Amino acid sequence: MKKELLLLSLVFSLFSCSNLSSITTSTEESISSSYDNRELFISSNPQKTIYNLYDKFDSTGLIIGYTAEGKETAYLVNKDEYTLSINGQEIKDGDILKEVGTFLVTITYNGLTASFSISVNNIYDYYSELEIVSLPNKTKYQIGEKLDPTGLSLLINTTYKTAQGQEVKLSETVTKYKLTINDIDFNEYTFNEPKREEVKITYIDNSERVIFTSFAIQVLKVKDIFSPFKYDDSIGLPIDHNNITITFDNPNFSDTNDKGYYAPEEIITAYNSHNYGEDNYYNWHYPDTSKDVAALVIPVVVPGYEEKADDYTWNCINQAFFGDDNDLYFESLRSYYYKSSFGQLDIQGAMTDYYYAKDESSFYHHEDDLSTEKVNTLAQDCLNWAIDTYSLDSTKYDLDRDGTVDMIWLVYVGKEATGSTYWAFTSSTGLISHMPDKSFCNMIGWIGASQIIGFSDENGDVDAHTIIHETGHIFGISDYYSTALNGYSDYMPLGRSDMMDQNVGDHNSYSKLTLGWTKPYIVYGDCTLTLSSSRLKDSCIVIPYDNKKYEKDENGKILFNPYDEYLVLELYTPIDLNSQGYDAYYVDLLKTTGVKVFHVDARLACLSNYTSTYIPEDPDWIYKEKNLGKPWMVITNTEQGETAEERFYLNQYNHFDEIRWITKDHIYLNRYQQATEDSLFKKGDFFSLTDYIEQFNADGLDNGEILSTTFKILK
């Protein structure tokens, strides 16, 4: 369609319009008999006539018209009525300019032509790359589904230098690209197995270079972990008929009407590791192990090791945590703690699909990106990912309802365990939620799959010893060996024979007292007791110092606080959890029955007004006078960190032992002096503190009190 442009005083003239002086025109035969001498002209040149190589042609601003009827009337030509060409080849807006030089752009309309020139300048250091602005809305799939790219947004970012050396940066939204999975068009590809799939994006840039990028989606193996699974509870508990008779004598005890001891049924535990976890300065929240505990296990793929994330590895990890006792040569985490707790603790839980750190984490894109401090951040990231991926309800994994998930285990897959960050350890984020609909990540474990799969020749493909040991820390038990000097200190007061010493055997009775799994006989006078195997509940004896006074609750029960100083006796039997050594650390458990005697000093220090630390005279302050401050376990066997040696400015290590095995043969146990069968007290053996004073670091009890009670094994 033609429109009249200017009439009368605004008549176009080739000779009077200055902006037409440089325009080339030509005239052909009239297409209408009503007028002749038509002439095509350019009223306005395009806004852009100077380009760089690979720019897009743009005719914006170009206005075309023609005159007729004696050149007294001018008409506008609509854009869709004319064509543009260079060297006979039609060119349209958006076409890429792929040659350098000066070119004449010819305008053609109804046999009339006009032209203008454009220049295309050369460029240097041309580079372009695809940027994924946003991933598809859906990146997690079930088997049988197809990829849905809705929400995928891309940019092509281009940089180059002009002939004058100016750096140019351009970004443009990409709309035309190709998606393939395993070289198959995404529309024709169906996900058929649980794994991580790479979606390849192919794009041809302005220079006709083929550019690739990709993103990952995950085909899920796990469908429902909204709540933790309660596994089959058919794990058997041991039957052990071993017992031993012990007679006790206290020369300062003279009440013939007093039986001289409190029995387990007369006692309640006034304070345990869960209470300490809630009260301590760092806000560690040890789960309440007197009931079921939930474990969320998340296998984390170390960036660069994605090929290691296979079904075999996943199944082995899952078995190590939740397998039955007959699935592994030793025990799974679940079966071990069910047996060690006398059937009181059943670890429920679930294991997620692989968490691909490079895809999901904001910082963990390379194996060197991680530090021990960042593991806590990673753990919360993993929990958030699990919540989003499975609609997981984190409060369901908070069985003690303290605002924290009971425990989260991250198992890193791919990189070998090499020490430092990539080794097994536990940590706490210190986070706690006071919202009823959300629980945070607090107590976490971190271990490599290489420390589970094939770690021990003796234990076959799957070995859970290290998981079991580290979970002891999550429950609030310290290492009973030195962690100083990269583990090469010789300080090992239990002679390597304990789960929290060298990852072997059962937990000792002191550990179980702090966890609330067992209650002791408390012997304070003259009596004779028959002690059953420590593999049975409520089968240990505590001997307190002479002046120890126990309070009672409103029901007349004796309030026992395991965070005190005392002796513990237990009858060791080489069955069940105590029946297997551990070849990974070259430890053989004892093969004979006898009494273990432990000296325990588990007094908690008080962080008063958050400025100074001291141990109150009464160890029971922790449940009687909580307003004194925050409890702090400064007496440990770890020999580094916040231990008694540092807090009390003592001149020697190991001034206080949290727990030491007092051996019958007077051997002061360490890394090289390991426990033997002669370390056990047996029939006819006698004990007094005076006779074994060399195994007490303070020439007696650390608290300065007297312990007069002696005992003899009768049979």
Q: What is the structure's pLDDT at 296?
A: 98
Q: How confident is the model at residue 488 (pLDDT cuts 50, 70, 90)?
A: low
Structural domain includes residue 146: yes
CATH number at residue 323: 3.40.390
Question: Is 153 found in the same domain as 61?
Answer: no
113-160 per-position pLDDT tens digit: 999 999 999 999 999 999 999 999 999 999 999 999 999 999 999 999
Token readout for 44 is 């306005």
Structural domain includes residue 639: no
Question: Is 404 found in the same domain as 337?
Answer: yes
Question: Is 345 found in the same domain as 251?
Answer: no
Q: How confident is the model at residue 645 (pLDDT cuts 50, 70, 90)?
A: low
Domain that holds residue 18: 2-121
Q: What is the structure's pLDDT at 637?
A: 87
Question: Is 425 found in the same domain as 326?
Answer: yes
Span of 236-240, 340-344, 538-542, 653-657 with lowest mean pLDDT: 653-657
Q: What is the structure's pLDDT at 212?
A: 96
Question: Is 351 found in the same domain as 317?
Answer: yes
601-640 per-position pLDDT tens digit: 999 988 876 566 788 899 999 999 877 888 988 888 886 5
Q: What is the mean pLDDT of residues 389-398?
A: 96
Question: Is 131 found in the same domain as 33?
Answer: no
Structural domain includes residue 611: no
Structural domain includes residue 578: no
Spatial CA neighbour of 711 closest among 592, 548, 562, 595: 595
Question: Is 517 found in the same domain as 568?
Answer: yes
Q: Domain boundary at 475, 504, 537, which?
A: 475
Question: Is 332 found in the same domain as 433?
Answer: yes
Q: Domain boundary at 121, 155, 188, which?
A: 121
Structural domain includes residue 67: yes
Scanning 83-166, the segments in alpha helix (DSSP H) are none
Given a cut of 70, whether residue 25 has pLDDT beyond it is no
Contact 499, 480 (CB under 8 A): no
Question: Is 67 found in the same domain as 112?
Answer: yes
Q: How far apart are CA 514 and CA 562, in angstroms?
A: 6
Given a cut of 60, whether residue 669 has pLDDT beyond it is yes
Q: What is the structure's pLDDT at 33?
A: 32
> What domain count does the chain have?
4
Given a cut of 70, whether residue 27 has pLDDT beyond it is no
Q: What is the mean pLDDT of residues 194-204?
A: 96
Question: Is 418 found in the same domain as 329?
Answer: yes
Between 650 and 224, whose confidence is greater? 224
Q: How far apart are CA 172 and CA 175, in angstroms?
A: 9
Cβ count near 398 (within 10 Å): 21
Q: Domain boundary at 121, 147, 173, which?
A: 121
Spatial CA neighbour of 695 closest among 599, 587, 630, 579: 599
Question: Is 95 found in the same domain as 180?
Answer: no
Question: 233 CB contacts (<8 Å, ≥6 apart)?
Answer: 338, 346
Question: Is 416 found in the same domain as 267?
Answer: no
Contact 708, 680 (CB under 8 A): no
Q: What is the mean pLDDT of residues 163-172?
A: 94
Q: What is the mean pLDDT of residues 301-308?
A: 95
Q: How confident is the model at residue 32 (pLDDT cuts 50, 70, 90)?
A: very low
Token readout for 96 is 């890429």
Q: How confident is the model at residue 457 (pLDDT cuts 50, 70, 90)?
A: low
Structural domain includes residue 425: yes
Q: Model's pTM, two decimal places?
A: 0.85
Between 653 and 406, whose confidence is greater? 406
Structural domain includes residue 651: no
Structural domain includes residue 59: yes
Q: What is the structure's pLDDT at 328?
A: 86
CATH number at residue 155: 2.60.40.3630
